[in-house]
Amino acid sequence: MSAEKAALRLTRADLKKGIHREYGGWIIQNNENGSLSYTKPVKGQEALIDLSKIPVPDGFTIVGDYHTHPHTTSTEGLGADPGDVESLRGIARNQHLDIPGYVADTFSGSVYRYTQWGPPMPKTMYDTNPFGVKIGTIPPD
C-alpha cells in the first residue's frame, strides 16, 4: 500500500498539471530478513510503464510490481486491465518470475491485487471487466 501511495501521489500531482502519466516500480524483499520494500516509483507514459529498466538492489528479490492508472473518470474502470495481466505473463515468460501486480487508479484511489492466474482471467485483450481483488483505498492527499 505504501508503494501505491507514493506512486499515486505523483500521478495525481501530474494530473493536476494536465499530464496523464503512469508511475510504478518493483516490490522487493530483503533476502536476509524477509522484509518488504519497494523501488522508488518511476515515470511511465500515459498508458505504459516500462519496469524492465528499474535496477533491483543487491540482496533483494522481486516479489511483485506496482503501478498506477491516471484515470479522470469512473468509466475508465477499476483494477487491472487485460494488458496489466498480460504484462505479468510477460514477466513470467521473460524473467521466470510468477509475481502478483498491484494497481491503483487516481479517480477512485482503489488498490487492486492481481495475478496472471486471475481470478478472473481475461478472455481476450478486448475484455472490459476489472481484474484482481480490491485490497484497499488511498484517499486524495
Partner 1 sequence: MAGHLRFRKMNLKVLSVVLGMMVLAVGAGESLGAPRKQSGPINVGMIALLASPQKYNQKVIQTVGFLNIGRGRESDNLWLHEEDGQLFLCKNSFALDLSDDQRKQFAYLNHTYVVVTGILHSDGPEGSAMNSGVIVNIEQIESWHPYVPTQPTVK
Instruction: Please give the residue ranges that form the binding site for partner 1 (CB under 8 A).
Output: 20, 22, 45-48, 50, 52-53, 69, 71-72, 75-77, 81-84, 86-87, 89-90, 124-126, 128
Residue closer to partner 1, measured from CB, 54 or 133: 54
Shortest spacing between CB 35 and partner 1, in angstroms: 29
List the beta bridge partners of residue 119. Answer: none
Taking residue 43's Cβ as centre, other Cβ atoms within 10 Å add up to 14
Q: Which CB atom, from 45 or from 137, has the smaller least distance to partner 1?
A: 45
What's the CA gap between 46 and 21, in Å, rounded? Answer: 4
The answer to whether 114 and 85 have CB atoms below 8 angstroms apart is: yes
Amino acid at 135: I
Cβ proximity to partner 1: between 83 and 120 the closer is 83
Rounded to a whole number of angstroms, the minimum distance from the CB of residue 70 to partner 1 is 8
Q: What are the grid coordinates assigned to 87, written together? A: 504484462
